[in-house]
């Protein structure tokens, strides 16, 4: 590449800016080919104004010829090799940018990396430095943040793992990040006296600088979105000299920071999981569920997302593992989940036992949603009880699903006997026997568990804010239904077929054909496609339901068998859309017919309720206001956070203190 570049007569040009945002500091000592690739990557950056300050430490290869082909950069040529540390300080004194990017000449930032690093650094005034995910030429991780052990030795976290392995893909505070790519504030670098030249010519200088940042109250953040290809040791001395410098500087660092090292972790089996993150948390939680909680999926996903967010905001470190769908992309997961949350993507559920063995002693609590996942945990616990010593299990039952199966059998015309229904219920409740605590979505399910001798039972319905749309009654039109319709025997499909065949004709007979039904949700395999009726429209999955809540006049939930609470009803009411539902759902919610909603299981009465609510503005406003009050009382974020803290504290045997770092 270098030969071809010289032969082409090309130039690498950088625009000059009076006040560049970033000054890139490059220290060169030979390796002109690597420098060319690094400069090309910098030249390609368009969204950040930058200047390039180059210090050439007496290179003897074609570096000087290359630098003659660079326009717009500030080049400082040293007659002697000053070493990396002194050369960085030399370059920093010449820099004009608000930020400094320390960059090795054998490091090539991928497109968008500098922009993302800037975004993170500017996101909080207490962030002092941002580092990158360094990728080796063989496609494995060199470093995803680094750890300083109590003996002053260091470790690049994630070394040897595939470059997008989930362990390396969440943002976190770390002891330090490699100076191969380190973005910092120029004024801070100057105030701290730059790199300590006692570490000259190189090694431990960025370790020392980041340690001093922490000592001065500033965080060092590893951002996995910042990706740099790094040809490790290409800019170094020979391996023997490198080892000698490391040993010397390790002793210097140990002497300089002896007090700080007393609080660092000791290197041992599994210790890197705790040491990989700098900040203290309330506790470490492994959250097991079926799917990444994308709101459009329904099936409890909105509630799962609400619980995950509450844990995160409350100061817990969460590893989230969607056991059923491990082909989900990490990027899609982080569209809804915080970047600071570890998301396990790419492992099959059969790896769960090995995962727990590898991380033995790391988690305080396992939060297990849904019966099928609790079965997996119970089986592992029976075979390897030692893995669960000191580890609290919360069974997030969510609902008593056997109730739904009993209801399904009844509406299908083949009801279960009392003995069959009781056996089904007992089998499900037995799953909770090994749990330290149980969470459910409704008071009715809480009562069932307590009646069977379970005591640590909490109601966690989810945090859903009341955000009513301002559109008045007269400007709204149409009836809204929301639900996934992927299986022909699901509660959603059954309910909608019942409504379309037995309720809608009565509504249209009274209100006329002007009333239309909008059906929102995935419906690719639904029998509903066989219907040919202009009265309703299958709209498919909708990411943002807010406009539909604002333009519709009433919401219907004709569910005939279900478990837990109907989140879609709660969300509709929270958005100020009054609801007509079945008695089944009204009972699960604990809402009163005629006050908080209108409810009936009879198709003619259900139709009459829809007509009345659709036509009576006074009733519409009354139901709307009462339901909003229920939302504020039962689904507030404060209430959920309080209960969740109590639940996690009970399971982990830790007090629910609000004091943590």
pLDDT of residue 564: 74
Spell out the residues 6+ positions from residue 296 whose beta carbon is closer than 8 angstroms to its own. Answer: 521, 522, 541, 542, 543
pLDDT digits (tens, 9 = 90+) for 26-43: 999 999 999 999 999 999
Residues whose CB falls within 8 Å of the CB of residue 532, separated by 6 or more in sequence, listed in order: none
Q: In this predicted structure, what is the pLDDT of residue 462?
A: 82
pLDDT per position as a tens digit, 331-380 = 889 999 999 999 999 898 899 999 999 999 999 999 999 889 999 999 99
The pLDDT value given to residue 615: 95
Per-residue pLDDT, 530: 67
With cut-offs at 50, 70 and 90, classify the pLDDT of residue 217.
very high
Pairing of strands 141-144, 127-135: antiparallel
H/E element, 219 = strand 219-230
Q: Is the pLDDT of residue 630 over 90?
A: yes
Give the per-residue pLDDT at 246. Answer: 83
Cα→Cα distances 570→31, 293, 302, 422, 467, Å: 63, 17, 11, 30, 12
Q: Please check the confidence at residue 320 and state whether its pLDDT lies above 60.
A: yes
Q: Which residue has the higher pLDDT, 346 or 102?
A: 102
Taking the C-alpha atoms of residue 189 and residue 308, their distance in angstroms, rounded to an integer, is 37
- Directed axis angle between helix 205-215 and helix 239-256, to 10°? 20
DSSP 176: B
Q: pTM above the 0.95 mark?
A: no
pLDDT by residue (tens digit) across 151-166? Answer: 999 999 999 999 999 9
Nearest CA to 405 out of 387, 383, 391, 422 is that of 422
Q: pLDDT at residue 569 above 80? A: yes
Percentage of the chain modeled with pLDDT above 70: 95
Q: What's the pLDDT at 660?
A: 41
Q: Is 64 helix (H, G, I), strand (E, B) or coil?
A: helix
Lowest-confidence segment of 18-22, 484-488, 579-583, 623-627 by average pLDDT: 484-488
**Stretch 244-251: mean pLDDT, rounded?**
88
Q: Are 220 and 131 in contact (CB under 8 A)?
A: yes
Determine if residue 480 is left, alpha or beta; phi over 0 gives left, psi from -120 to 50 gives alpha, anything else beta. beta
CA count, 13 A, side-chain hemisphere, 178? 27
Gap between the Cα atoms of 568 and 441, Å rounded: 13
The answer to whether residue 235 scores a pLDDT higher than 60 is no
For the cut 90, the answer to whether the pLDDT of residue 206 exceeds it is: yes
Q: What is the pLDDT of residue 400?
A: 83
């Amino acid at each position: 590449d270098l030969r071809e570049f010289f032969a082409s007569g090309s130039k690498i040009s950088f625009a000059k800016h009076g006040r560049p945002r970033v000054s890139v500091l490059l220290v060169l000592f030979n390796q002109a080919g690597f420098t060319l690739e690094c400069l090309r990557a910098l030249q390609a950056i368009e969204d950040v104004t930058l200047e390039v300050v180059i210090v050439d430490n007496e290179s003897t290869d074609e570096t000087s010829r290359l630098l003659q082909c660079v326009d717009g950069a500030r080049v400082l040529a040293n007659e002697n090799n000053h070493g990396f540390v002194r050369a960085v300080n030399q370059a920093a004194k010449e820099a004009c940018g608000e930020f400094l990017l320390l960059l090795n000449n054998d490091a090539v930032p991928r497109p968008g990396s500098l922009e993302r690093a800037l975004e993170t650094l500017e996101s909080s005034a207490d962030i002092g430095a941002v580092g990158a995910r360094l990728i080796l030429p063989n496609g494995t991780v060199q470093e995803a943040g680094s750890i300083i052990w109590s003996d002053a030795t260091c470790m690049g976290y994630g070394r040897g793992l595939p470059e997008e392995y989930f362990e390396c893909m969440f943002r976190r505070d770390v002891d330090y990040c490699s100076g191969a790519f380190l973005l910092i504030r120029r004024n801070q670098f100057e105030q701290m006296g730059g790199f300590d030249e006692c570490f000259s010519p190189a090694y431990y200088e960025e370790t020392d600088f980041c340690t001093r940042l922490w000592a001065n109250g500033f965080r060092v953040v590893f951002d996995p979105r910042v990706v740099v290809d790094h040809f490790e040791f290409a800019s170094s001395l020979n391996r023997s000299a490198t080892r000698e410098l490391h040993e010397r500087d390790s002793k210097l660092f140990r002497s300089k920071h002896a007090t700080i090292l007393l609080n660092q972790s000791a290197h041992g089996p599994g210790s890197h999981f705790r040491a990989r993150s700098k900040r203290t948390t309330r506790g470490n939680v492994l959250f097991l569920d079926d799917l990444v909680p994308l709101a459009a999926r329904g099936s409890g996903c909105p509630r799962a997302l609400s619980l995950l967010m509450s844990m995160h905001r409350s100061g817990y470190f969460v590893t989230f593992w969607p056991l059923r769908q491990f082909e989900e992309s990490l990027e899609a997961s982080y569209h809804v989940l915080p970047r600071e949350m570890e998301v396990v993507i790419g492992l099959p559920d059969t790896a769960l036992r090995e995962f727990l063995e590898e991380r033995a002693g790391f988690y305080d609590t396992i939060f297990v949603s849904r019966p099928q996942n609790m079965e997996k945990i119970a089986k592992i616990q029976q075979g390897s009880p030692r893995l669960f010593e000191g580890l609290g299990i919360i069974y997030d039952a969510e609902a008593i699903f056997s109730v739904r199966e009993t209801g399904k059998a009844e509406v299908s015309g083949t009801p279960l006997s009392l003995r069959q229904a009781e056996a089904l219920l007992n089998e499900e409740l037995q799953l909770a026997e090994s749990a330290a605590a149980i969470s459910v979505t409704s008071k009715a399910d809480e009562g069932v568990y307590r009646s069977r001798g379970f005591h640590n039972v909490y109601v966690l319905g989810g945090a859903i804010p009341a955000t009513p749309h301002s559109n008045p009654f007269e400007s709204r039109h149409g009836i809204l239904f929301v639900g996934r319709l992927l299986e022909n025997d699901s509660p959603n499909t059954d309910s909608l077929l019942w409504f379309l065949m037995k309720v809608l004709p009565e509504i249209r007979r009274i209100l006329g054909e002007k009333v239309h039904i909008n059906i929102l949700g995935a419906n690719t395999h639904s029998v509903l496609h066989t219907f040919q009726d202009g009265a309703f429209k299958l709209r498919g999955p909708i990411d943002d339901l807010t406009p539909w809540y604002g333009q519709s006049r009433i919401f219907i939930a004709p569910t005939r068998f279900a478990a837990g609470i109907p989140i879609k009803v709660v969300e509709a009411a929270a958005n100020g859309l009054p609801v007509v539902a079945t008695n089944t759902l009204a009972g699960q919610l604990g809402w009163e017919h005629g006050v908080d909603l209108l409810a009936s299981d009879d198709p003619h009465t259900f139709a009459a309720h829809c007509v009345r609510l659709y036509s009576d503005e006074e009733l519409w406003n009354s139901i709307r206001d009462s339901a909003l009050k229920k939302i504020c009382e039962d689904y507030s974020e404060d209430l959920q956070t309080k209960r969740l803290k109590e639940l996690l504290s009970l399971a982990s045997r830790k007090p629910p203190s609000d004091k943590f770092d």
